Amino acid sequence: MSSVETAGAAPVFLLEGVTYRYPDGEIGVNNLDLSVGERERIVLLGANGSGKSTLLRILDGLIFPSDGLVHTFGQVLNEKSLSEEVFNYDFRRRVGFVFQNSETQLFSSTVWDEIAFGPLHMGMEEPEIRRRVSEVLELVGIEAIKDRPPFKLSGGEKKKVALAAVLATNPDVLLLDEPTAALDPRTERWLVDMLIQLGKFGKTIITATHHLDIVEEISDRVLIFGEDHRVAATGPPSELLSEKELLLHVNLIDPRFHKHSHGGDHRHYHIHD
């Protein structure tokens, strides 16, 4: 498969022949080769169970390949390297993961404490922690709820807090698993605009989504996974989203699907009865 790297820079992630098998023998990803360049924005597309979430968990060092190698920041990413204090600290500071279900990563008594947890865990001094929390609260626009308990927030507010908690350590890489799932339209629009802004800040962003409407706005390159857990295609979003037969083959759309253009490059994807 083809790949894109920032000229003159080592890839942020380099995967060579990566296969992951779950304990029951089911394949998560199958013989994956991938290079992710610095500041690249990638969207992962595919039907449920095709490998998108598995790949994100591998990139975050939550699970490790059954076969193949993952390289990141000039070092192999595996259980041994993450057991080394210096590498673990650096990796966890530089890579942040926003889970599909925000409730799985929210556990503090207040929003402020939730956002402060990462910097505190990284050993930052109190003035720096306060500065970072204040800046992120403002960036995400949640100053008004800083003293509220996360478990009492709406779904959209929880998503904002989860993202803010990740941004508090100022990671170089953001991994997002179905970030717009279950969001109302206004919060979804806010999140897309935030991802665009973070891309302009120079973040490397890898997003798994089923939401075809947002793909062209938040990505430079798309990886489409087939139901065999392999990458069926990779390329610019505008090209791949125009390949109806490919999208049908990987079960991302049904035969009634078509798209509407409303000026410029903005498109809406619809399935009509």
The encoded tokens of residue 10 equal 């080592």
Note the pLDDT of residue 170.
95
Instruction: Give me 42's structure tokens.
Output: 């990638």
Rounded to an integer, the average pLDDT of 141-155 is 94
pLDDT digits (tens, 9 = 90+) for 157-175: 999 999 999 999 999 999 9
Check: CB of residue 227 under 8 Å from CB of residue 250. yes
If pLDDT is split at 50, 70 and 90, which confidence band does 182 have? confident
Where do the structural domains in the chain lie, given as residue ranges? Answer: 13-103+172-271
Position 259 confidence tier, pLDDT thresholds 50, 70, 90: low
pLDDT in tens, 195-229: 999 999 999 999 999 899 999 999 999 999 999 99
User: If 0-12 CB within 10 Å is exposed, 13-18 middle and 19+ buried, where does residue 159 land?
Assistant: buried
Task: Measure CA 209 to chain center.
Answer: 9
Strands (E) in the chain, as ranges, are 13-21, 27-36, 41-46, 67-72, 75-76, 95-98, 173-177, 204-208, 221-225, 231-235, 257-261, 267-271
pLDDT at 31 > cutoff 80: yes
pLDDT in tens, 96-108: 999 998 888 888 9
Cβ-Cβ contacts under 8 Å for 67 (sequence gap 6 or more)? 17, 18, 19, 31
pLDDT at 263: 47
What mean pLDDT comes out for the span 25-52?
96
Residues 183 and 190: their CA atoms lie apart, in Å, by 10
pLDDT at 2 over 80: no
pLDDT score recorded for residue 180: 92
The confidence score (pLDDT) of residue 261 equals 55
Per-residue pLDDT for 82 more than 90?
yes
If you classify domain 13-103+172-271 with CATH, what class do you get?
A: alpha beta
152: CB partners within 8 A, 6+ apart = none
Q: Angle, to 10 degrees, between the axis of helix 155-167 and the axis of helix 185-200? A: 10
Cα diameter, the chain = 58
Determine which helix (DSSP H) or strand (DSSP E) holds 138, and give its type and residue range. Answer: helix 126-140
Matching residue, tokens 């302009």: 200
State the average pLDDT over residues 115-136.
94
Statement: residue 154 has pLDDT above 50 = yes
pLDDT at 271: 41
Rounded CA separation 13/93 (Å): 15
